[in-house]
Chains A and B, each alone.
Chain A
Amino acid sequence: MSAESSASVKPVQKETSMKLQKQMIGAHFERLGRAREEGKKVVYTFVPGNLNELVWAFDMLPVHPEINALQSGMRKKSGDYVMEAEKHGHSEDVCTYVKCDIGMLKRGNIGPTGEKLPKPDLLLLSYTGCFTFMKWFELLRQEYDCPVAMLQCPTRAKGKKHRRW
């Protein structure tokens, strides 16, 4: 790129909320990195289902595997993780969220911001309709010696009681 065209590139304008969000996520991964030394219990769970308040209320820390995958993707780390999962038998044509998370785990569970993520004390599966979530936690269950709890939210068409046809 020439100096002239480089000079013409406008700086990225970030909203305050974007900066704040980045800080919050970074701070959360740092807390997870200190979890063991601070004696905190760790719960792996999904974003849908929104069980964070429940986890926080017990003074535990949540880990969201799909956030791990997203953050890894933003940092261009997910390609290697996906290939790592495929080396362990995962098919090339299934959900890369899952494979990114599994690949990260197989490579030492170093989180997207560089902190090693603690193992879960509980796998809290919020099964809110995405079938893949169920398989995902069955896979994680193979990797960790910890209890699993599932909260199933049955799907209702249009979010309400079925219409009488």
Chain B
Amino acid sequence: MSVESIVARCEALYDDIELGAVREWKHATGCKAIGYMPVYVPREIIHAAGMLPVGVMGGGDSIEIIRGDAYYQSYICHIPRSTIELGLTGRLDALDGMLFPAICDVIRNLSGMWQLMFADKFVRYIDFPQNFSAGVGGEFYRQELRRLADDLGALAGHAVTDDALNESIALYNENARAVRDLYSLRARHPHWVPSVELYLLLRASNVMEVSEHTALVRGYLTAAEQLDRRPMDNIRVVVSGVFCEQPSLGLIRALEQSGCYIVDDDWVLVTRYVTEDVESGTDPIGAIADGYVKHGVATSSRYIADEVKGQYLVERVRALDADGVIFASPSFCDPALLERPMLQAALKRAGIPHSSFKYAENSGQFHAIKEQTGTFSDSIKLWGTV
């Protein structure tokens, strides 16, 4: 497969907000599909129940919000509005259930609204432990996962077995390794892997069976290394804050066009939330819980008790030899925007340049952002700082 054909396929999936691929998968397999919102859910358990995990990451810039706005005050972010719009217009009808992970108060409350609006669907709010010791938060989370597995098994009509869980864990480990390789290639040769292509590949995982997605990423890696793409005179940046409401393709393109190679980011974080392989074995549910508490990625939705706040970002910048950080945060996003001053302070202490802007998933004008990030890039190129 060529890079062009892979990217074209991913873009078609991205554009299909009617979830046509999910409908086709259900028709072909006779199985159910379960939606989930950012930033993380244990997809292995859905998969082990014989269901398709489907990432629901808002409506982007593709739909007009009419009904969604009626449910929210003006000072609430955009992703719950577009998610409601998608639901009420029937675009999510292919889903037999929805999982709402604990990311913020808005998404938590959306889970309650979903139960009222779609009373015939399976709806679950997943609260994550903020205590990361195995015997406390890990044990709580293990019980939650067991309950989730039992309920998904009841919905599927068969129990979720340890064998099925181990198989699913192995497939998702393979997928995570492929995604990590994709990120590694982009960090080493950002001109080989334009970020909009990487992003589309990640978004494809939302609606695709995991092993098929792994093959797609591996195919892209092989094809991308064979292209003779020329490097640009861009700086290297880490983008932070885009873990829930997603940026549009236009925004990602604008960042790179303005002179910034993105060498790390936190979008579609579910694909690499657990940073090491989950161990399969005699206690697969426990292994998934362990993976979460021991190897979860540092992000705003995880409480940091003793570590220095923002140190993970400083270390990431240094490990990737990045020139600076761009904070891109959705408007009204408490998790991203309350985190930001702490991260900025850590960067300041470390002497790392940064710049910040806000966006909404349906932002359509990028001129001001390009000017800002372009100036950021030029300043670093000229003076090594801002």
Contact = CB atoms under 8 A, between A and B. Distances in A.
Given A93-B75, A150-B131, A132 B105 contact: yes
Interface residues of B, number: 45
Given A132-B105, A134-B130, A95 B334 contact: yes
A87 B104 CA distance: 25
Of the candidates B127, B309, B339, the one having the most CB atoms from chain A within 10 angstroms of its own CB is B127
B340 A91 contact: yes
Interface string A130-160: 1110111011011000001010101111000
A91 B309 contact: no
Sorted from nearest, which 3 A-B pairs have the closest CB atoms? Answer: A135-B338, A89-B341, A91-B337
A94 interface: yes
A156 B102 CA distance: 11
B246 interface: no
Contacts of A142: 309, 342, 345
Interface in B96-141: 97, 102-105, 108, 111-112, 115, 122, 124-125, 127, 129-131, 137, 140
Contacts of A152: 129-131, 137
A53 to B, nearest CB: 22
Interface in A72-102: 88-91, 93-95, 98
Contacts of A58: none
A162 B151 contact: yes
B303 interface: yes
A102 to B, nearest CB: 9
B331 interface: yes
A72 B114 CA distance: 36
A150 B338 contact: no
Contacts of A136: 338
Interface residues of A, number: 30
A138 B309 contact: yes
Interface in A5-53: none
B154 interface: yes
Contacts of B345: 89, 142
Nearest to A130: B105
Contacts of A90: 337-338, 341
B305 interface: yes
B366 interface: no
Nearest to B107: A131
A93 B151 contact: no
A88 B115 CA distance: 40
Given A154-B140, A155-B127, A132 B303 contact: no
12 contacts: A89-B340, A90-B337, A93-B358, A127-B130, A131-B104, A135-B334, A135-B335, A135-B339, A142-B342, A150-B305, A154-B127, A164-B154
A162 B335 CA distance: 26
Contacts of A135: 300, 334-335, 338-339
B340 A155 contact: no
A91 to B, nearest CB: 4
